[in-house]
């Protein structure tokens, strides 16, 4: 990926030899994790985002995808302002096989 004023990246070796650059890389990685988590939450709450699989080959396709994502974010914010409560996903039930105690000394 080419870096631009809209796309930033990590410092790579050998530029990443000072504490300031390592801290920059660390902070950028933290932001990446937060961004990925936010995307995951939005996909869980707005199922249409899971099904949004577009080729982004043209400006029109990219614009359509961004408009769709923005609409879901706006709807999400409206629901929060109105006090709607979103269901929290439940962790999956453990499978019966995972609850079986291992046999010690078995053959």
Q: What is the pLDDT of residues 70-91, one digit of tens each?
A: 999 999 899 889 988 776 666 6
Using a pLDDT cut of 70, give the percent of the chain over it.
79
Q: What is the pLDDT of residues 98-107, one digit of tens each?
A: 555 555 555 5
**DSSP code of 51?**
S
Domain ranges of the chain: 1-45, 47-83
Res 38 pLDDT > 70? yes
- Coil, strand or helix: which one is 15? coil
pLDDT of 101 reads 55
Name the pTM for this structure. Answer: 0.57
Are 33 and 41 within 8 A, CB to CB?
no
Q: What is the pLDDT of residues 44-61, one digit of tens each?
A: 888 888 888 877 788 888
- CA gap 63, 33 in Å, rounded: 25
pLDDT of 16 reads 73
């Amino acid at each position: 990926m080419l870096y631009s004023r809209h796309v930033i990246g990590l410092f790579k070796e050998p530029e990443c030899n000072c504490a300031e650059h390592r801290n920059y890389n660390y902070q950028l990685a933290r932001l990446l994790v937060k961004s990925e988590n936010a995307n995951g939450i939005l996909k869980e709450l707005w199922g249409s985002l899971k099904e949004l699989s577009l080729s982004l080959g043209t400006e029109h396709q990219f614009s359509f995808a961004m408009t769709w994502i923005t609409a879901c974010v706006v709807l999400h914010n409206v629901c929060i302002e109105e006090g709607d409560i979103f269901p929290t996903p439940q962790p999956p039930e453990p499978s019966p096989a995972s609850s079986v105690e291992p046999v010690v000394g078995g053959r």
